[in-house]
Structure 1
Amino acid sequence: MPAPPQPWILTARRAIGNRIRAVRLHRCLTQERLAELAGLDRQTINRIEQGHAAASIDNLLRIARALDVPLRDLV
């Protein structure tokens, strides 16, 4: 069983999630609509925004594209 993530990783996950949420809300999108646009499910978006899940680079790229922002703006 892998060791739990270090605190700095959890902090970074939350920061990324907060940036995704901020852009999503600025674009007046629900989690469900963002999930549809990104080809993901709503719970995946929720877990990423909450910092509970380690988002794969593929999912981050999908989300950035769906939000029409460069990936660097999210990470």
Structure 2
Amino acid sequence: MSSEPPAWVLSRRQAIGSRIRDARLHANLTQFALAERCGVDHRTIHHIEYGRSDPGLGLLLQIASAVGIPLAELVR
């Protein structure tokens, strides 16, 4: 059994990461600023934006709040 998720999961993670990046830029935030607002390292934000990380619901909620976008819009 492979530890790598299916291709469709990776694709969805990248799409969500792209929406997070767009929302962050629209909110005029750097990765550092968003990370600070969420209490995580800037590398965590970078990994999420590029689909390399699988963030938990709590962090997704914090990101949505920090960029002023409903969570549903980020993960649609």
Instruction: Name the TM-score class by shorter chain.
Output: over 0.9
Runs of 4+ in 1 over 6 A off after TM superposition: none
**Matches of 1:3 and 1:32, distance apart in 2:** 30
Q: Does 1:57 align with 2:57?
A: yes
Letter in 2 for 1:53: S
CA contact (8 A) 1:14 1:51 kept: yes
TM-score (norm 1): 0.93
TM-score (normalised: structure 2): 0.92
RMSD: 1.2
Please tell me whether the aligned partners of residues 60 and 71 of structure 2 are also in contact (alpha carbons under 8 angstroms): yes
Give the letter for the 2:5 counterpart.
Answer: P
- Stretches of structure 1 that go unaligned for 5 or more consecutive residues are none
